[in-house]
A and B are shown apart, each in its own frame.
Chain A
Amino acid sequence: SQQGEEDPQALSIQEGENATMNCSYKTSINNLQWYRQNSGRGLVHLILIRSNEREKHSGRLRVTLDTSKKSSSLLITASRAADTASYFCATDGGGYSTLTFGKGTMLLVSP
């Protein structure tokens, strides 16, 4: 897989359920970031996790990072219809000033 590949590609759940999205990457990183994009809109920064961190929380978001497996997960607890969006992970290049994005996971939360 390419740097910053998310799975699943699409996820459909009911309000109140938890949503888990995964991201895998190939090269070494300094940090990994998760972004949300509502349809046709801009990218909203959600959370950054450093390479020396294993877990981070922000409100209903929980991000984990396993550098040995080169993977991260984003958990949204008690989802709401307003969480419907595409979610992207983005990794830095471990020394380069760029972010590499995956194709994203489209999350649909039904009321």
Chain B
Amino acid sequence: EPEVTQTPSHQVTQMGQEVILRCVPISNHLYFYWYRQILGQKVEFLVSFYNNEISEKSEIFDDQFSVERPDGSNFTLKIRSTKLEDSAMYFCASSAIRQGGGMNTEAFFGQGTRLTVV
């Protein structure tokens, strides 16, 4: 069964360092998302991406964050200068059709990357 894959599963980084989290969405999906979950808290939306551009982003997704689809299969989240509060589980998701677009389609999530900023 197709699945969203994320690498690495766990990343430890020094505060102020840049990190890139990688995702391979399901191959025929067109919409891609990043969410994060701080330990013990809700899963929060960060950004959605379609047709090589950001379609929506939350307040969390500030200038420290960027996303890219460098080739036909990968979707990356870059955090330019990590802060302690960026420590969280980051989930990539993809869907065939845009969520909330009046169409009914599931969003499939990867296993997540646990980012620990020290």
* Min distance, Cβ B7 to any Cβ of chain A, angstroms: 13
Q: Which residue of A has the minimal Cβ distance to B3?
A: A42
- Are the CB atoms of B104 and A97 closer together than 8 Å? no
Choose among B41, B99, B105, B114 the residue that contacts A98 (Cβ–Cβ < 8 A). Answer: B99
CA distance A41 to B43 in the complex (A): 12
**Binary interface encoding of chain B residues 41-76 relative to chain A, with 1 for a CB under 8 A from any of its CBs, else 0:** 111110010100001101000000000000000000
- Are the CB atoms of B45 and A41 closer together than 8 Å? no
| Most chain B CB atoms below 10 A, which of A40, A88, A94, A99 | A99
**Interface residue tally on A, bucketed by range:** 20 to 34
Choose among B43, B56, B104 the residue that contacts A96 (Cβ–Cβ < 8 A). Answer: B56
Given A42-B91, A97-B48, A101-B43, are A30 and B102 also a contact pair (CB < 8 Å)? yes
Given A40-B114, A96-B56, A101-B42, are A45 and B100 also a contact pair (CB < 8 Å)? no
**Interface residue tally on B, bucketed by range:** 20 to 34
Number of inter-chain CB pairs below 8 Å: 78
Q: What A residues does B114 contact at CB under 8 A?
A: 40
Q: Check: A111 CB closer than 8 A to any chain B CB.
A: no
Within 8 A of B (CB), among A27-77: 30-31, 33, 35, 40-45, 48, 50
Q: Check: A80 CB closer than 8 A to any chain B CB.
A: no
CA distance A33 to B108 in the complex (A): 11
- Are the CB atoms of A97 and B99 closer together than 8 Å? yes
Q: Which residue of A has the minimal Cβ distance to B113?
A: A42
Q: What B residues does A31 contact at CB under 8 A?
A: 104
Q: What B residues does A43 contact at CB under 8 A?
A: 43, 91, 93, 109, 112
- A92-B99, A97-B48, A102-B42 provided; 5 other pairs, C-beta below 8 A? A30-B100, A44-B109, A88-B43, A97-B100, A98-B100
Chain A interface (Cβ < 8 Å from any Cβ of B): 30-31, 33, 35, 40-45, 48, 50, 88, 90, 92-104
